[in-house]
Amino acid sequence: MYKFVGELYARHEKNLKELIWQRLIKWRKQPATVRVERPTRIDRARQKGYRAKQGYIIVRQRISRGSRRKPRPTMGRKPRKMGTVKITPGKSRQWMAEERAARKYPNLQVIGSYWVAEDGKHIWHEIVLVDPAHPVIKADSRINWICDPAQRGRVFRGLSPAGKTSRGLRKRGTGAEKVRPSIRAHHRRGK
């Protein structure tokens, strides 16, 4: 069943586009971080580790699109050296969205996230969070690894799936020599 739900999103059917458009009208008026009752894309949420049980929480996070905005320097320099345009962050938007959700819910841990929608100005991701102190999570052998103290603040260390992808850890072989063990290793040439 989840396979067919995923294909529906992949094909961008006309009815689905209209549904997303209607949702965005509401979402733009909401705060940047919103806890939602159930996932918008159940297939992606399940792939990222979500289960419909206590201890799991879904948060929809809005994040701005485009390159970084940097103020124009007040002192003189040639235009090329102004450094105001084409400034891109060293992280993916998805990773930044996960971090913002984790800051909003400091007692929860991020296990994954997925794209939900975007318009000209914003991107929305849904983040799957888990409460490591919840008895149901502690008793579940599939997810109780998150209760280990070493997993605290994992999203801020780039250990979530989006963080690992942004750090380049999905690559292997030629061209991936400088991505391990960290971004700061190899004289910060990992990104």
- As a whole number, mean pLDDT of residues 22-39 equals 95
Instruction: Answer whether residue 144 is part of any domain.
Output: yes
pLDDT, tens digit, 9 for 90 and up, residues 59-115:
999 999 988 878 888 888 888 888 888 888 888 999 999 999 999 999 999 999 999
Distances in Å between the alpha carbon of 185 and those of 21, 63, 153, 191? 43, 29, 20, 10
Report yes or no: 96 and 158 within 8 Å, Cβ to Cβ: no
* 21 occurs within a structural domain: no
Q: How many whole angstroms separate alpha carbon 49 and alpha carbon 42?
A: 11
User: For the domain that residue 77 is a member of, what is the CATH number?
Assistant: 3.40.1120.10
- For residue 100, being part of any structural domain is answered with yes
Q: In terms of DSSP bridges, do strands 56-64 and 33-36 run parallel, antiparallel, or are they unpaired?
A: antiparallel
The parent domain of residue 118 ranges over 31-188
Backbone angles phi, psi at 177, to 5 degrees: -70, -35
Q: Where are the beta strands (DSSP E) in the chain?
A: 33-36, 56-64, 109-118, 122-130
Q: How many domains would you assign to the chain?
A: 1
Which of helix, strand or coil describes residue 60?
Answer: strand
Q: Taking the model in full, what pTM does it have?
A: 0.86
Give the mean pLDDT of 24-53.
Answer: 94
